[in-house]
Structure formats: C-alpha cells, structure tokens
Amino acid sequence: MTPAVSTSNIPGHTPGSLPTINLADLVREIKKASHEMMVGDKKSFPDFPGWQVGYGAFTYHISMKPVLINYVLNQEKHHKGITFREEMIQLLNDNLVPFNEEYLLT
C-alpha cells in the first residue's frame, strides 16, 4: 500500500493521499475496525450507535497536492471558523455538486 502523504486527527475527517486504494474499500475497513473497537469499549463509547450508511469524499488532481497538504496541516485552525456541515456545503457548491441539505451529514 502507498503511505498517506498527510493525515489529520480532526474528528470526522480522514484525509490522506492513497492513490492505490479503492475509496469504498478504505471507508469500509476504517468503519469495520473502528466499530469493533468502539463497541468493545462501552466505557469509553457508551452512546456509540454504529456508523451511518454513507460517507462523503472528494478527489483532486495531483497538481493540487501541495494545496491539499497545506489544508490538512492547518485543518485544526481552519475548523475553528467553520463547522463540518458548513464546509461540506461549501465544497459541494464550489464543485457544482447538486445536493439536498436534508440528506447532508449533521
């Protein structure tokens, strides 16, 4: 597997550069492993109901790599001024993706 170029520990985010991995497989494995860990640790995660069915993901051209690495490295600062939902709406609008707010993650 190709190592991630840059990752973040911001809750709700799993950024990285994994060009040789199928995104659906990656999300499935992350959800599976974390679900098993969280269900097995009821003391730390007493209210964990399980993962939602869907997920959101965006891909970018390799020429955007330096911009994306900078974004990931500064994500904590960035998220002090914008919520996850606001960022999702901004990304969808910026990329001209039609959506219904009713179905967005909260």
| Of 56, 39, 57, 40, residue with least CA distance to 48 | 39
Token pair recorded at residue 100: 């219904």
For residue 24, what is the enclosing H or E element? helix 23-39
Residue with tokens 């891909």: 59
Please tell me the pTM assigned to this model. Answer: 0.55
What range defines the domain where residue 99 resides?
Answer: 23-103
Q: Is residue 13 situated within a structural domain?
A: no
| Of 93, 96, 75, 102, residue with least CA distance to 8 | 75
Give the total number of structural domains in the chain: 1
Instruction: Tell me the pLDDT tens digit for each residue of 40-81.
Output: 998 999 988 888 887 878 888 889 989 988 988 888 887 788
Q: Is residue 84 situated within a structural domain?
A: yes
| Cα-to-chain-centroid distance, residue 42 | 24
